[in-house]
Amino acid sequence: MSTYRNLGLFLVLSALWGSAFVAIKAGLAAFPPVLFAALRYDVAGVVMLGYAAVRADNPCPRGRDEWATVAVGAALMIAAYHAFLFVGEQGTTSAAAAVIVSLSPVLTTVFARGLLPDERLSAVGVVGILLGLVGVVAVAQPDPATLLSSETLPQLLVFAAALSFALGSVLTTYIDAGVEIETMEAWSMLGGAGLMHLVSLGLGESFAAITWSPTALWSLAYLSVGASAVGFLVYFDLLERLGPVEINLVSYVAPLFAAVTGFLLLEEVVDAWTAAGFCCIFVGFVLIKRRALRREIPRLRAALAGGDGRRRERR
């Protein structure tokens, strides 16, 4: 049963995070983009704080390093990532946004190379990074003559979102404060929501601009409770059972769900360039993480077969 449980949860997480791009796209017709992202994490942050209070040994960060970790998470992984993503999705499809965001694990390696001395990048790894960038170019198809046009700028903003998340991931590892992940996520969500409210005010967005409708309500509820709260609960469970390398693979299954749900609900069509870009990014990830994947495959099989193999190993 554990085999089906872990596989089922992995697919559930991929579906939740993949279809989130569609919910964002649908909700953007009713909400100003940055205010929309802020409201999402108002709700999700409160839910996650309640979860941290029950699950974490220390539900509140302690000391300068732990608060620094939360600050990085709030500024880069929540506020910058979602502000860029929500604004960028106004001008691109759900599937294209999901594919560009799937570059985050590749970009994480780039930043880790400069900030984490234990990280080494071989020639094959460099090829992997270049393939990832080729994938983004294939999706965005930028024209140098109109680089900041209404057609190209949204993809660049989504790329900026992926950069922000990758840099935030590496910086939180660099600080290495040891803060529990549930605590870090909860306080980062709340802090990121506060930062996005400030950005929203600076952009002149207001609650009066919201067009309340059934679509607006379901998209906000789905993103806050489904994709964020439930999604991260599933993420924490799988992180414990399968480990971080396998969890990275969610980034490469989520675009498939984004493409399917985008087609079914919004009639978005995935073109050949988006599909080719996805393939390039995925192959790039495999090249960069080939050694880690090779090490983790036996553990993954054990976890899928026994469910608690990784937990016994940690003890």
Give residue limits of the domains in the chain: 2-308
Chain segment 138-189, per-residue pLDDT in tens: 765 655 555 455 667 888 899 999 999 889 888 888 887 788 888 999 999 9
In the structure, what pLDDT confidence band is assigned to residue 14 with cuts at 50, 70 and 90?
confident
Biggest alpha carbon–alpha carbon distance for the chain: 58
| Predicted structure pTM score | 0.81
Tell me which residue has tokens 């990830």.
285
HSE on the CB side for 307, CA within 13 Å?
Answer: 7
In angstroms, the CA 296 to CA 300 distance is: 6
**pLDDT value, residue 254:** 83
- In whole angstroms, how far apart are CA 80 and each of 20, 71, 192, 227, 286? 17, 12, 8, 18, 27
Say whether pLDDT at 213 is over 90.
yes
**For residue 45, which of 189, 222, 179 has the smallest C-alpha distance?**
189
Give the pLDDT band of residue 52 (cuts 50, 70, 90): very high
Band of pLDDT at residue 211, cut at 50, 70 and 90: very high
- Contact at 8 Å (CB) between 71 and 191? yes
Half-sphere exposure of 100 (CA within 13 A, CB side): 30
pLDDT value at residue 120: 59
- What radius of gyration, in Å, describes the C-alpha atoms of the chain? 19
CA distance 187 to 61: 8
Helix and strand element counts for the chain (H, E): 16, 0
Cα distance between residue 244 and residue 104, in whole Å: 14
Q: Name the token pair of 64.
A: 């300068």
Per-residue pLDDT tens over the stretch 90-137: 988 888 888 888 888 778 877 877 776 665 566 776 777 777 777 767
Q: Which of 235, 257, 246, 231 is nearest to 304 (CA)?
A: 246
Q: What is the pLDDT of residue 140?
A: 58
pLDDT at residue 311, as a whole number: 44
